[in-house]
Amino acid sequence: MDNYVNDRLQLPLGTVMLGNIAMMESEGNNIDLLNKAVITLVNIEEESTLKNAPHYRVINGNTRYENPPVVLNLYVLFTANFPTQYGNALEVLSTILEFFQGQTHFNLLNSPAFASSFPDLKEPQIVDLKLIADLYTMTFEQINHLWGSLGGKQIPFAMYKMRLVKIQAEKVLQEGGPISEIVTNNKAV
């Protein structure tokens, strides 16, 4: 995204950064956040509709019992913190919106910069990694609560819900072979 904003607006690399926008009004700590588009994680939600996944997998004829993966939705706040250049803030924010309008699905195949973050692409949980970015519209009351909890004055922002982040530890709870015979009342079936 930083490259996209840089290419569109001829801004220096590093204009889009990961950071905590709640720190913008802290004394002495906000210099890194000035004149930047700041990406802040503000909430994590479990995707309840996918919670009932099977707790086992069959691999090479053996059954592996594992806890099902946790599927998360991430609420990510994109803020344009250009306090003395409101026009620039709106321009940067509109470029971020344009970026997500042009591409809403992200995975290792369609996002080479994303893929380069993972050196071992053979791991199944990494290969299956995907994000779907949905613009999340809040009510005025929700916006007021958000900026009140962040402890700052409202600046141009957009909230996105990043759906289907799957997290699963490679921890096998139990493993067993296939059932080859069932015995009832001392008789094989």
HEC profile of 91-149: HHHHHHHHHHHHCCEEECCCCHHHHCCCCCCCCHHHHCCEEEEEEECCCHHHHHHHHHH
- Compute the average pLDDT of residues 105-126: 66
Q: Is 47 contained in some domain?
A: yes
- Compute the average pLDDT of residues 161-182: 67
Q: Is 181 contained in some domain?
A: no
Is the pLDDT confidence value at 162 over 80?
Answer: yes
Give the chain's mean pLDDT: 82
End-to-end CA distance of the chain: 61
- Compute the average pLDDT of residues 96-101: 96
Is the pLDDT confidence value at 69 over 90?
Answer: no
Q: Is 111 contained in some domain?
A: no
Is the pLDDT confidence value at 45 over 70?
Answer: yes
Per-residue confidence at 115, pLDDT binned at 50, 70, 90?
low
Is the pLDDT confidence value at 90 over 80?
Answer: yes
Instruction: Report the number of distinct structural domains present in the chain.
Output: 1
- Compute the average pLDDT of residues 72-93: 95
- Tell me the pLDDT tens digit for each residue of 9-38: 999 888 999 999 998 877 666 678 899 999
Is the pLDDT confidence value at 46 over 60?
Answer: yes
Q: Is 89 contained in some domain?
A: yes
> Would you state the pLDDT for residue 189?
57
Q: Is 182 contained in some domain?
A: no
Note down the domain range covering 155.
Answer: 2-104+133-164
Q: Is 36 contained in some domain?
A: yes
Helix 86-102 vs helix 2-9: crossing angle, to nearest 10: 120
Q: Quick one: which H or E segment has residue 76?
A: strand 70-81
Is the pLDDT confidence value at 60 over 90?
Answer: no
Q: Is 63 contained in some domain?
A: yes
Taking the complete model, does pTM exceed 0.95, yes or no? no
Q: Is 112 contained in some domain?
A: no
